[in-house]
């Protein structure tokens, strides 16, 4: 029996996806496509709004936060006033559930989720963990999501009429004026990224899968680098696509679902994601034609079209959404300059350096301010907007886990070769899959390597089923001098950005050096 008055409003509990879909259609929150999937639009915000994200200032945490443009401080009293305003707003109509984060029981966190929109609640049920609420005394985060509540920025001292606010001391998350559902997922991730290191757990913006031998591979990378696509491998067992924790015992998915990009989605290239197109998923900003068929190639709404679905929509998965200590760690980088090898083997100091740099390209970005631009970017930990603590703390935990596990670390370029963006070609996903399989199957000969000058990256000379000429990026350029020019541009960007990051001398030594001395 639903605790909800459909005529007069109120708070609905004990929810099902079927009921929530009916509610979403009743209140014109979305429409059903030909596959009976709820499709929604998020208005002017089709991605995250990083300028509208705040962390509540408090003496207990102020010295532990990396304050700045990413982690903006917000006054506690003003936040409390907004919290009460939102609670009153949600009394008109809202939906409530108890969900969970972190698949490992010893780190599991309770989430009390209240949303104004029915489709946002389906999203929450798909992305977080559904299970019996057997321990109400478990530490609980309270989440309020009110997309139609717009505030006056001159009164509440915000950047706009909308905001995402995280109260780390009182375990509260407030989302107002935002229809883009990804804000809810990433706010919870940010909270876990603050909390988990206190338990000696490295939180990671990465995907994970395992082979038949149960050996685990991690895939770090920003949006557009291939993280979800490459981890959703029909030849391997899926663990998760975006957020994980790494303890001394192994890894675990922080979430209970996937939030896959839909741009260019095709059954042949991404069969695992394609198979998740079924009733119960939610599509966000996907273009529908006049017959209500999804057109994944149409980007007129946004390049950041998405689909949210639970893990159980994936047939070949690890049921526990956990895994043993990783054997392979893969950093995915989309190199716009086309100068990095398709695969490089990293030393332990290099692993920490490239983790702190997080170099890639903003390509189909999840941030609204960057979706029209393709440009190089550096994002510490391969996800700087979601990590409240100084990046060096996460890098220290990564080094600890690597030393404990002996995991091998690789830098994989999913970007360009034969020239820079606009002139060269992007590596085909099938080519990169073969690289990934060689990594996971240990068919790369670590004793047959070459060194790329300037970057000092070691890359293999031969990989089974791969054209050896493509392994050295210099070979595919018709003009060696033009390659060197582009390499020098990227090297200088590494040098400039590294000066902004605190790191030990032994890690800083891995910074690329001017290529001029080698030419």
Residues labelled as active-site residues: 48, 186, 205, 223, 227-228, 242, 306
Helix (H) or strand (E) holding 209: strand 202-210
DSSP state of 470: G
DSSP state of 497: H
Question: Which value, to the nearest 10 degrees, does the dihedral of the CA atoms of residues 74, 195, 500, 373 take?
Answer: -70
Question: Which value, to the nearest 10 degrees, does the dihedral of the CA atoms of residues 470, 475, 478, 483 take?
Answer: 100
DSSP state of 347: P
Instruction: Give whole-number Cα distances, 440 to 17, 210, 315, 404, in Å.
Output: 37, 9, 21, 19
Burial class from Cβ neighbours inside 10 Å (0-12, 13-18, 19+) for residue 405 reads: middle
Pairing of strands 243-246, 257-261: unpaired
**Structure tokens belonging to residue 142:** 């309270």
**Structure tokens belonging to residue 510:** 């891995």
Pairing of strands 425-426, 375-378: unpaired
Are the C-beta atoms of residues 343 and 459 closer than 8 Å to each other? yes
Please state, in angstroms and rounded to a whole number, the distance separating the CA atoms of residues 174 and 191. 12
- Distant-in-sequence, close-in-space partners of 190: CB < 8 Å, separation ≥ 6: 166, 385, 386, 387, 388
What is the Cα 491 distance to its own chain's centre? 26
What is the Cα 102 distance to its own chain's centre? 15
Nearest CA-CA partner of 344 in 409, 408, 411: 411
Are the C-beta atoms of residues 242 and 207 closer than 8 Å to each other? yes
Please state, in angstroms and rounded to a whole number, the distance separating the CA atoms of residues 239 and 317. 6
Nearest CA-CA partner of 145 in 101, 196, 94: 94
Instruction: Give whole-number Cα distances, 316 to 232, 310, 515, 519, in Å.
Output: 9, 13, 45, 49
Please state, in angstroms and rounded to a whole number, the distance separating the CA atoms of residues 207 and 242. 5
Collapse the DSSP code of 459 into the 3-class scheme (helix H, G, I; strand E, B; otherwise coil) and give the result.
strand
Nearest CA-CA partner of 227 in 48, 421, 358: 358
């Amino acid at each position: 029996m639903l605790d909800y008055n459909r005529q007069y409003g109120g708070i609905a509990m004990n929810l099902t996806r079927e009921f929530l879909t009916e509610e979403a259609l009743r209140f014109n929150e979305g429409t059903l496509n030909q596959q009976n999937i709820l499709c929604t639009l998020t208005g002017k915000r089709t991605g995250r709004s990083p300028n509208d994200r705040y962390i509540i200032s408090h003496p207990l945490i102020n010295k532990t936060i990396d304050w700045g443009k990413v982690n903006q401080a917000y006054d506690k009293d003003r936040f409390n006033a907004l919290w009460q305003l939102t609670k009153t707003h949600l009394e008109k109509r809202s939906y409530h559930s108890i969900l969970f984060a972190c698949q490992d029981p010893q780190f599991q966190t309770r989430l009390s989720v209240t949303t104004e929109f029915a489709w946002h609640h389906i999203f929450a049920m798909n992305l977080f963990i559904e299970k019996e609420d057997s321990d109400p005394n478990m530490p609980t985060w309270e989440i309020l999501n009110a997309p139609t509540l717009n505030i006056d920025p001159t009164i509440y001292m915000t950047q706009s009429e909308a905001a995402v606010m995280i109260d780390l001391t009182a375990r509260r998350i407030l989302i107002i004026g935002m229809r883009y559902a990804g804000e809810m997922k990433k706010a919870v991730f940010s909270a876990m990224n603050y909390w988990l290191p206190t338990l000696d757990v490295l939180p990671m913006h990465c995907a994970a899968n395992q082979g038949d031998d149960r050996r685990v591979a991690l895939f770090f990378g920003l949006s557009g680098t291939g993280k979800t696509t490459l981890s959703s491998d029909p030849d391997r067992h899926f663990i998760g696509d975006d957020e994980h924790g790494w303890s001394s015992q192994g890894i675990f998915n922080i979430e209970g679902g996937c939030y896959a990009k839909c741009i260019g989605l095709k059954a042949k290239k991404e069969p695992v994601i394609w198979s998740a197109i079924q009733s119960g998923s939610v599509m966000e900003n996907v273009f529908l034609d006049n017959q209500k068929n999804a057109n994944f190639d149409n980007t007129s709404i946004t390049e950041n079209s998405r689909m949210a679905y639970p893990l159980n929509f994936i047939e070949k998965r690890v049921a526990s959404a956990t895994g043993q200590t990783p054997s392979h760690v893969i950093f995915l980088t989309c190199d716009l300059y086309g100068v990095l090898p398709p695969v490089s083997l990293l030393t332990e100091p290099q692993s920490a350096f490239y983790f702190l740099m997080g170099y890639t390209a903003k390509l189909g970005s999840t941030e609204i301010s960057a979706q029209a631009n393709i440009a190089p970017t550096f994002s510490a930990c391969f996800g700087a907007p979601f990590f409240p603590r100084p990046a060096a703390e996460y890098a220290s935990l990564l080094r600890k886990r690597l030393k404990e596990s002996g995991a091998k670390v690789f830098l994989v370029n999913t970007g360009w070769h034969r020239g820079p963006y606009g002139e060269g070609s992007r590596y085909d996903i099938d080519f990169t899959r073969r690289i990934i399989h060689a990594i996971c199957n240990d068919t790369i000969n670590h004793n047959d390597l070459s060194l790329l000058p300037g970057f000092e990256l070691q890359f293999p000379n031969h990989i089974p089923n791969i054209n050896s000429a493509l392994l050295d990026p210099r070979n595919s350029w018709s003009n060696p001098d033009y390659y060197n020019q582009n390499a020098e541009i990227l090297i200088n960007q590494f040098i400039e950005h590294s000066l902004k990051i605190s790191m030990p001398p032994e890690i800083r030594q891995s910074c690329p050096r001017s290529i001029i001395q080698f030419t």
